[in-house]
């Protein structure tokens, strides 16, 4: 994601106080059956905003025409990604149309651009969604989609309840320039129920088509294993998009989490791989584990990636998808890759900021995972496993998963310390974020009985805190069905 997103941070922090929305602007989106164009009618509650903005640099090119709905129909014209509204009365409306078939390529901030997926269409929201840059605490936008019979929509926003005539959503208060995607297509959105959440799964068109039951089983298994971290899945109704057609041997060569609206996870899959490959793959537990934290600024990606990288192995060991021994082998191999990574001489902070240029992914991901393992082991050791990273995340979920504010790693770690009544996280931050060396795990290995032998790690039976080692990977409340592992 783009690093320069923190300018509005303080504004958003103060605007995120939950206040019952009073002013609901209504957007009605009408989509043609061939999904090549859309018409939007936006009616504002009270005084219209002075200007609208769009997140994508491609939005001006996709904009076809627009007008204010008033007696003298005044044309609207974007100026770059901004559009001034003048002379529109209170409670007034505008209308505009957008060409969705333009092959837009300027903006790749979301990791993807608007594109056809078989008969379906993946759209960057910022291509067509002209909206106020900021919403006051008492404002929200309700977007409803008037769709031809059989055409469905998948959005990252919160569905309005009870259900309206058309699929309708409240967008909430996340910053307007956080990337997000809406898909239109001939799919049926599938509710995937897990403790604490209903994931909204949409599987786009493919040739051959993806096996819908297999994809649902795969996402359900991964979401259940992540819900097991502290008992409930961290985001109430996230958008889960599965996009077939990826060219690769592995089942999910590319995936990411977006933070516009509620959180969303998108998986680009090779739908020819059997279900077994998906169940064995770490990608879905990794991406869904990202949701254990709110949006952490990309300058501190070591924390978000470290959390996902740690739990991609821990959750799978607990569900039985891999053995505890295999989980430790994978973690050990990861720590080695992080230590050997090509960005020697850089601090973790520098390696994170330069990750996309210098390819220091392994250093960043596995340094974060090592710090969280150090934290988990220390919390468990001092409390005889009563306290852990899981329990801290459970407390954090109760206070701090509002999707709108953007956090720094320091703020998250300070909160973790406050919730755990310790200084475990502050000490780890101070020791490792500005250090050029990979976190030293020698003492931890000795304490919990891990012995490195060449590229492998051996689980010893005589170490002071074997109980901690085994508790981390102990089977949890959810077990991956044995049939999926055969």
Minimum distance, C-beta of residue 312 to Zn ion, in the bound complex (Å): 9
Minimum distance, C-beta of residue 257 to Zn ion, in the bound complex (Å): 7
Full strand arrangement of the beta sheet holding 115-117: 115-117, 120-124, 181-185, 152-154
Handedness of CA 125, 131, 132, 138 (dihedral sign): negative
Report the chain's C-alpha Rg in angstroms. 23
Residue whose CB is less far from Zn ion, 308 or 389? 308
Residue whose CB is less far from Zn ion, 94 or 291? 291
Residue whose CB is less far from Zn ion, 120 or 305? 305
Minimum distance, C-beta of residue 422 to Zn ion, in the bound complex (Å): 26
Token pair of 429 as six digits: 């931050």
Residue whose CB is less far from Zn ion, 42 or 222? 222
Minimum distance, C-beta of residue 368 to Zn ion, in the bound complex (Å): 10
Residue whose CB is less far from Zn ion, 31 or 304? 304
Residue whose CB is less far from Zn ion, 258 or 308? 308
Total chain residues near Zn ion (CB under 5 A) = 2
Q: Assess 21 for contact with Zn ion (CB under 5 A).
A: no
Please tell me the distance from the alpha carbon of residue 319 to that of residue 165, in angstroms, as a whole number: 40
Residue whose CB is less far from Zn ion, 308 or 353? 308
Residue 428 class from Cβ within 10 Å (0-12 exposed, 13-18 middle, 19+ buried)? Answer: buried
- Site map (CB under 5 A) of Zn ion, residues 296-325, x = contact: ---------x--x-----------------
Minimum distance, C-beta of residue 185 to Zn ion, in the bound complex (Å): 26
* Nearest C-alpha neighbor of 265 from the set 110, 160, 105: 110
According to CB under 5 A, which residues from 214 to 273 bind Zn ion? Answer: none
Residue whose CB is less far from Zn ion, 104 or 407? 407
Minimum distance, C-beta of residue 305 to Zn ion, in the bound complex (Å): 5
Q: What is the dihedral of CA 467, 470, 471, 477, to 10 degrees?
A: -150
According to CB under 5 A, which residues from 167 to 206 bind Zn ion? Answer: none
Minimum distance, C-beta of residue 290 to Zn ion, in the bound complex (Å): 6
Minimum distance, C-beta of residue 54 to Zn ion, in the bound complex (Å): 27
Residue whose CB is less far from Zn ion, 59 or 308? 308
Minimum distance, C-beta of residue 287 to Zn ion, in the bound complex (Å): 6
Residue whose CB is less far from Zn ion, 143 or 265? 265
Cβ-closest position to Zn ion: 308
Please tell me the distance from the alpha carbon of residue 204 to that of residue 273, in angstroms, as a whole number: 16
Q: Report the interhelical angle of 466-473 vs 361-383 (nearest 10°).
A: 120
Minimum distance, C-beta of residue 330 to Zn ion, in the bound complex (Å): 15
Binding stretches for Zn ion (CB under 5 A): 305, 308
């Amino acid at each position: 994601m783009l690093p320069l997103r923190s300018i509005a941070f303080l504004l958003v922090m103060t605007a995120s106080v939950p206040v019952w929305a009073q002013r609901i602007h209504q957007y009605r989106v009408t989509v043609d059956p061939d999904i090549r164009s859309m018409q939007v009618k936006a009616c504002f509650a009270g005084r219209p905003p002075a200007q609208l903005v769009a997140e994508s640099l491609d939005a001006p090119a996709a904009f076809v025409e627009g007008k204010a709905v008033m007696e003298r129909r005044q044309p609207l014209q974007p100026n770059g990604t901004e559009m001034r509204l003048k002379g529109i009365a209170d409670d007034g409306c505008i209308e505009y149309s957008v060409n969705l078939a333009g092959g837009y390529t300027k903006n790749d901030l979301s990791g993807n651009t608007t594109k056809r997926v078989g008969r379906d269409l993946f759209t960057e929201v910022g291509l067509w969604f002209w909206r106020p840059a900021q919403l006051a605490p008492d404002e929200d936008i309700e977007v409803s989609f008037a769709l031809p019979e059989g055409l469905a929509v998948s959005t990252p926003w919160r569905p309005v309840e009870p259900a309206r005539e058309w699929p309708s959503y409240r967008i909430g208060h996340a910053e307007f320039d956080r990337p997000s995607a809406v898909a239109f297509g001939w799919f049926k959105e599938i509710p995937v129920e897990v403790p604490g959440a209903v994931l909204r799964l949409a599987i786009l068109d493919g040739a051959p088509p993806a096996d819908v039951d297999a994809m649902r089983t795969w996402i359900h298994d991964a979401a259940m294993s992540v819900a097991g971290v502290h008992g409930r899945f961290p985001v109430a109704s996230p958008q889960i998009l599965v996009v077939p057609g990826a060219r690769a041997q592995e089942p999910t060569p590319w995936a990411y989490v977006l933070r516009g609206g509620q959180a969303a996870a998108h998986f680009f899959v090779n739908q020819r791989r059997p279900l077994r490959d998906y169940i064995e793959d770490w990608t879905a537990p990794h991406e869904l584990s990202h949701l254990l934290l709110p949006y952490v600024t990309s300058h501190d990606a070591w924390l978000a990636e470290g959390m996902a990288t740690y739990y991609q192995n821990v959750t799978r060991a607990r569900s039985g998808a891999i053995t505890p021994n295999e989980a430790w082998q994978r973690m050990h191999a990861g720590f080695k890759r992080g230590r050997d990574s090509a960005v020697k001489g850089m601090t973790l902070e520098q390696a994170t900021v330069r990750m996309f240029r210098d390819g220091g992914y392994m250093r960043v991901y596995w340094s974060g995972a090592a710090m969280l393992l150090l934290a988990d082991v220390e919390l468990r050791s001092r409390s005889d496993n009563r306290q852990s990273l899981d329990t801290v995340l459970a407390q954090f979920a109760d206070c701090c998963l509002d999707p709108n504010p953007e956090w720094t790693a320091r703020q998250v770690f300070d909160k973790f310390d406050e919730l755990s009544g310790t200084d475990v996280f502050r000490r780890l931050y101070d020791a490792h974020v500005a250090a050029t060396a990979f976190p030293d795990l020698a003492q931890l290995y000795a304490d919990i009985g891990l012995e490195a032998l060449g590229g492998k790690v051996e689980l010893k039976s005589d170490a002071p805190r074997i109980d901690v080692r085994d508790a981390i990977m102990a089977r949890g409340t959810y077990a991956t069905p044995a049939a999926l592992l055969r």
